[in-house]
Amino acid sequence: MNARVVFALILVVLALWTAWSFLPPLIWATILAVALWPLYLTFAGRFMSGPSAAAAFVFTVLVALILITPISLAIYTIAQQSDLLIDWMKRAREGGIEVPDWVARLPFAAESTQQWWRANLSDPKAATAWLKSLNADNVSDLFTTFGGQLIHRLFMLFFSLLALFALLSHGRAVASRVLETCDRLFGEAGEGLVEKMVDATRATVNGTVLVAVGEGLAIGAAYFVAGVPSALTFLIFTIAFAMIPFGAWLAFTVAAIVTISGGGSGIAAAGVFLWGSIIMLAGDHFVWPTLVSGSSRLPFLLAFVGIFGGLAGFGLIGLFVGPVIMAALLAMWREWIFRPTPQA
């Protein structure tokens, strides 16, 4: 028996070591499969002939389109602006950059910003000294590195979608094997432990999407009121980036800068930034943890610690892994330690 346990542990370690670089996309695929399983069953029953390989393929393609569309839009926008950035830096080194008119319309620190601009960018020598570490060659190298990382990330995204298709195609069989394994390893409480982890995963994903859409729409309304150029595009960016920690902050900050640089009011730009800050602080620190804790029946404090502790410990994927860990801990504490002992 001991030899079997040792051999099994060795195989597990070797398998993890072999698949280590593919674990993040596999975890993402598992999270998506667990969270989207009820939606997939509804889709397969209403539009297809029930769960099947064909239904799983079509559903995976739809998920890919939803994920790739905002990413592609962001990449296209960045690619368009890269040439403008390089040209701006060349002109700054050769003849300096005059203070733009919009700087004077800043709602605060306008005078100090103009003085800094004249001292660092209007004078060609000062601009060259200030930008010497950010020359066009370095920027080109940056975009080359970015391109390599982008190809790697896209490959991992493709692998994650491939794993999602496999999990959806064989969802019931995989779930049955997982439950059987947990029952054998942990007894009757094993199934309850899995259910708590599934509930936490779905609650975290659903809460993240709902809060991101709500934050994006609320901030997007300010874009239209303030007259932000390409307000609809910024609205889409804000919803997509709101699912990433601090992503929406970047979106509405850029929107405020674009507003004032495009001839808009400084007060309107400041209003966009202030309103976005209020929405994000309320959504990320109160609404989101409340949704996650309520749907997964996690206490608010555990949900809060799981979300932000997972983010600090595991990165972006920790947003979903953290609450799952807390839910498993709570289920183990309730079921294994405080579960009433059956009377003989």
**C-alpha–C-alpha distance, residues 20 and 68, integer Å:** 25
So where are the chain's domains?
20-169, 187-339
Instruction: Express each pLDDT in 94-126 by its tens digit.
Output: 666 666 666 666 665 667 777 766 666 666 666
Over residues 297-307, the mean pLDDT reads 73
Q: Distance (Å, rounded) from C-alpha 319 to C-alpha 310?
A: 6
Classify 188 as helix, strand or coil.
Answer: coil
pLDDT band at 66 (very low <50, low <70, confident <90, very high): confident
- Residue 29 neighbours by CB under 8 Å, 6+ apart: 160, 161, 163, 164, 167
Which range has highest mean pLDDT (107-111, 179-183, 279-283)? 279-283
- List the single range of 57-66, 185-194, 206-215 with lowest mean pLDDT: 185-194
Q: What does the pLDDT average to over 308-313? A: 80
Burial class (CB in 10 A: 0-12, 13-18, 19+), 313: exposed
Q: What are the angstrom distances between the C-alpha of 268 and each of 140, 247, 261? A: 35, 21, 12
- pLDDT of residue 52 exceeding 70, the answer is yes
**Residue 218: per-residue pLDDT:** 92
What is the spatial distance between Cα 302 and Cα 198, in angstroms, rounded to a whole number?
Answer: 16
CA–CA separation, 216 and 332 (whole Å): 37
Q: Is the dihedral of CA 236, 239, 243, 245 positive or negative?
A: positive
Going by the DSSP 8-state scheme, the letter that residue 287 receives in this structure is I
Q: Where residue 232 falls among pLDDT bands split at 50, 70, 90?
A: confident
54-58, 234-238, 286-290, range with the lowest pLDDT: 286-290
Rounded to an integer, the average pLDDT of 290-316 is 74
Region of residue 281 (phi > 0: left; psi between -120 and 50: alpha; otherwise: beta)? alpha
Question: Under DSSP, is residue 242 helix (H, G, I), strand (E, B) or coil?
Answer: coil
Please give the average per-residue pLDDT across 34-44, as a whole number: 90
Is pLDDT above 90 for 59? yes
Kindly tell me if the per-residue pLDDT of 188 is higher than 90.
no
Question: What percentage of the chain has pLDDT greater than the value 90?
Answer: 9
Q: Which helix (H) or strand (E) holds 27?
A: helix 23-47
Please tell me the predicted confidence (pLDDT) of residue 344. 46
Q: 3-state SS of 120-177? A: HHHCHHHHHHHCHHHCHHHHHHHHHHHHHHHHHHHHHHHHHHHHHHHHHHCHHHHHHH
Token couple for 188: 């009757």
Averaged pLDDT score across all residues of the chain: 77
Q: Structure tokens of 122?
A: 């209007």
Lowest average pLDDT, out of 104-113, 202-211, 224-233, goes to 104-113
Q: Is the pLDDT of residue 293 over 80?
A: no
Return the minimum-mean-pLDDT range out of 71-80, 159-168, 298-307: 71-80
Task: For residue 267, give both structure tokens.
Answer: 């007060």
Tokens describing residue 58: 């079509």
Distance CA 194, CA 188 (A): 11
pLDDT at 270: 86
3-state DSSP assignment of residue 59: helix
Closest CA to 287 of 178, 208, 189: 208
pLDDT value at residue 295: 61
Write down the pLDDT at residue 100: 66
**3-state class (DSSP) for residue 339:** coil
Of 143 and 39, the one with more pLDDT: 39
Q: What is the mean pLDDT of the segment spanning 193-198? A: 76
| pLDDT at position 58 | 93
Token reading at 5: 């346990």
